[in-house]
Structure 1
Amino acid sequence: MRLADATSPETAGAGLVLVPVGSIEQHGPHLPLDTDTAIAVAVAERVAAELPGTWVAPALSYGSSGEHQSFAGTASVGTDALTHLAVELARSLRTWASRVVFVNAHGGNLTALKASDELEWVPCATEDVDLHAGFTETSLMLHLRPESVRLERAETGNTQPLRDILPVMMAGGIAAVSANGVLGDPAGASAAEGERVLDAMVADVLGRLG
């Protein structure tokens, strides 16, 4: 159930509220800026459908994306601001809901979400396959919102493992390791693969929520 569609009396005494957390940041030349947010919302809504009585709050779309700031379109609020916002939001929601869990789909938000013991969060784990705007995220968006994917513009990016590029990336951002902003290879991405990955992420989050 979408919180934004509810009336106040309908939410009284609620149990679980899921808050999708994403970003507005470059995703190479072919994926929309809100890719992470779209994934977080999709996972949260699918999870809520499996847990009757669960509400899905409007997404926190602006995250901590400073590593992408060299690319146009990126809109980041940074770690401290995101932590403060998430803590205040959780406190507010918990005045009428018994549990609040943030569903995060952007790796850059992890430091913010880990910064306070007041925050409970779960990941949308796509990084196990590739890192950013590659095969996995392209497949997910082909499944979720194919009209937003400019597949004809897709390019291979840096395909090295994270451990090999992390020091340079931490110092100079994504642009220091990938001129087109892609970490991975979108070749062969498909809606069918996106559906499979989404199913796996939903199952993982359900398991983490207990």
Structure 2
Amino acid sequence: MERRSGLGQMCWPELSDRTVTLLVPTGATEQHGPHLPLDTDTRIAGLVASRAAARLAGDDPTDDNRTDDDPTDDGRLIVTAPALSYGASGEHEGFPGTISVGHEALHLLLIEYGRSACRWADRLVFVNGHGGNGATLVAAVERLRYEGRDVAWFPCAVPGGDAHAGVTETSVLLHFSPESVSMSVAETGNVAPIATLLPTLRDGGVAAVSRNGVLGDPAGATQEHGADITETMIAGLVSAVRDWNVGDRGRLR
């Protein structure tokens, strides 16, 4: 496999008559507590997509398991698109800075994006960094696949991660973007299990269950933990793209 650069830096002849897999980071612009930037989800999705693309091309300097024989070049071009930075974040609109386009607009955007990109890309993966986009992604990908396009989605998530702006996301940003993390103002949020919060959260948004917007506790976040989480997400996406096994709901497994 081969990857020259991100889509935004390429010229159209580089894509002409090529077999292309397009990785599209999908994120959000929403509050992430008093200590993390509003574009946290978009940053994470962009990092996972770009590192996975580099690893699939065999030129990721962070890959400790790289070998001269990996990967096998089958002529496929792996390209990372500019991130989609707005999503369905209505549950966070009780906090300044959040911008949500809602599920209806996001659904239409994803469908039209897929229809257009698949005119020249034979495969497309939405690499999702915001859980609130999930249901809409499933619906849009199912529609695109019904129309005959080889489209899938992949979540930037790890087992056991906390809900929002806690130790998981804080650790990841401490790993790759520490200058954007303000640990001096980090606060514990609501640490109750998310299942118990859902009824109130659905009615009143995150502000109804957490005064500072945090669902979890960032206090134990470390760069080392963030590196482990990041590696798990990147390796998962690399494996999924190589295997290309698309589940019933359009998730790349």
Mapped to 1, the partners of 2:154 and 2:164 lie a distance apart of 19
Residue-pair matches, total:
210
**Contact 1:139–1:193 (Cα < 8 Å) also in 2:** yes
Partner of 1:36: 41
1:182 pairs with one of 210, 214, 219: 214
- Stretches of structure 1 that go unaligned for 5 or more consecutive residues are none
Partner of 1:6: 10
Partner of 1:73: 97
Partner of 1:191: 223
**CA gap 1:127/1:158 in 2 versus in 1, 3 angstroms:** farther
Cα RMSD (Å) of the superposition? 1.2
2:233 pairs with one of 193, 201, 204: 201
**1:100-158 deviation per Cα after TM superposition (whole angstroms, max 9, x unaligned):** 11000101101210113115211001473201000010011111211111110100000
Partner of 2:22: 17
Mapped to 1, the partners of 2:159 and 2:43 lie a distance apart of 16
1:96 equivalenced with 2:120 (yes/no):
yes
**1:35-90 deviation per Cα after TM superposition (whole angstroms, max 9, x unaligned):** 00000000001110122321000000000000000000001101111111111111
1:82 pairs with one of 102, 106, 119: 106
Could you tell me the TM-score, scaled by structure 2's length?
0.80
1:168 equivalenced with 2:173 (yes/no):
no
Which amino acid in the other structure matches residue 88 of structure 2? S
2:171 pairs with one of 132, 135, 139: 139
Mapped to 1, the partners of 2:54 and 2:96 lie a distance apart of 36
2:79 pairs with one of 55, 60, 65: 55
**Structure with greater Cα Rg:** 2
- Stretches of structure 2 that go unaligned for 5 or more consecutive residues are 58-76, 145-150, 244-253
**Contact 1:83–1:115 (Cα < 8 Å) also in 2:** yes
Q: Secondary structure at the match of 1:39?
A: helix
Q: Secondary structure at the match of 1:103?
A: strand
Mapped to 2, the partners of 1:85 and 1:181 lie a distance apart of 27
**CA gap 1:49/1:86 in 2 versus in 1, 3 angstroms:** same
**Contact 1:28–1:181 (Cα < 8 Å) also in 2:** yes
Using the TM superposition, name which of 16-25 and 125-134 deviates more: 125-134
**Contact 1:126–1:137 (Cα < 8 Å) also in 2:** no
**Contact 1:154–1:186 (Cα < 8 Å) also in 2:** yes
